[in-house]
Amino acid sequence: MISFNTMSLQGLASAAKSLSKYQWGAWSLVSLYISIGSGIVVALQYDLSSPFYSSTALDLLVPYGEFARSVHFYSSQFFFLFSCIHLIAIFEKTDEYTFYNWAILIISLPTAIFLLFTGYVLRGDSTGFSAGMIAEAILENIPLVGDSLNHLFFAISDRGMQRVYVHHVITLDVLWLILVWDHLRRYRIKVSNHIPLICLTFGFCLIIPAPIDPEKLGVTYISGPWFFLGLQELLRYFHPLFAGVIVPIAFVFALVRMRKGEKYFHIILYFIYTWLALYLILTTIAWLR
């Protein structure tokens, strides 16, 4: 165990040192700005009464609509990925944070994932609609408060995309900003210093359009968003309360407690490595189906 713990710490420190050479935090913010700007364009064309039609109409009828949707989709993914890498890169410097500040920053990560997830659902295609139905089923399996939570966050079966849209456009954005506001005040970036990243993002979006999945008759298995695949596979074997609630919350709780001064830091680090490895395996299995 001691040998493994030493190797784990050395591996984390080595990864942080190699990643710290790059401006992951700045790139994350630039991607966020691009996502917000393109998101306004997409939102102006979105119709709650016919989400899938408005998504496809954006691609087919609106000038540069497909490009705007692709920019919003991929810049949002880049924002989240850069944020995660930024967390690893600066981990060695996080001792200066209080437990409260650290916990708030960690909670901003699942908030960002929820933002991405609601974006997938709002597309209204086969992937988005199915992901929304799975989310409803997970929430409804939570004892006592499940129905209330589903009514608050989704209620797609009763209200369509109304609640999902409000949370994606307003609630989650405001919540994320509140969570990271103290952290953001430490950074000052100039977008003009990151023109290559912006050009690469736009170029990528020109070459690879954002996915949208039409309904396919006879298809019995639909893959969800890439970050949802492991959970989707886990749901095949375990009860929704365990697979969809307890397992993700356990990981977030472990991240919150992942402080060098924590008494059980090595055990927590081992748990996080194991959780990520198993989730990667489950994601690979789901992707290969």
**Which pair of structure tokens corresponds to residue 197?**
């990243």
pLDDT at 70: 95
pLDDT at 142: 93
Residues 250, 253, 254, 256, Cα dihedral to 10°: 160
pLDDT at 92: 78
Following DSSP, what letter does each residue of the chain receive, concatenated?
Answer: -HHHHHHHHHHHHHHHHHHTTS-HHHHHHHHHHHHHHHHHHHHHH--TTSHHHHHHHHHHTSTTHHHHHHHHHHHHHHHHHHHHHHHHHTGGGGGGS-HHHHHHHHHHHHHHHHHHHHHHHHT-SHHHHHHHHHHHHHHHTSTTTHHHHHHHHT-HHHHTTHHHHHIIIIIHHHHHHHHHHHHHTT----GGGGHHHHHHHHHHHHHSPPP-----TT-------GGGHHHHHHTTTS-HHIIIIIHHHHHHHHHHT--TT-TTHHHHHHHHHHHHHHHHHHHHHHHH-
Q: What's the rounded Cα separation, in Å, for the pair 36 and 71?
A: 10
pLDDT at 215: 67
- Contacts of the segment 55-60: beta carbons below 8 A, 24+ positions apart: 55/123, 55/124, 55/125, 55/212, 56/212, 56/214, 59/209, 59/212
pLDDT at 220: 60
pTM of the model: 0.89
Residue the block writes with tokens 């039609």: 53
Residues 152, 223, 69, 78, Cα dihedral to 10°: 90
> Where in the chain are the domains?
12-214, 223-289
Are the C-beta atoms of 135 and 127 separated by less than 8 Å?
no
pLDDT at 182: 87
**Which pair of structure tokens corresponds to residue 233?**
């596979």
Give the CB-side neighbour count of residue 247, counting CA atoms within 13 A: 21
In this structure, what are the phi and psi dihedrals at residue 113, rounded to the nearest 5 degrees?
A: -65, -40
Average pLDDT per block of 10 residues along the chain, 289 residues long: 52 56 85 94 90 89 91 96 89 81 92 94 88 91 92 89 94 94 82 91 95 68 83 92 94 90 84 94 90
Task: Calculate helix-pair angle for 265-288, 2-19, nearest 10 degrees.
Answer: 70
pLDDT at 157: 85
**Which superfamily, per CATH, for 12-214?**
Cytochrome Bc1 Complex; Chain C (1.20.810.10)
pLDDT at 192: 85
Query: What's the gap between Cα 129 and its chain centre?
Result: 17
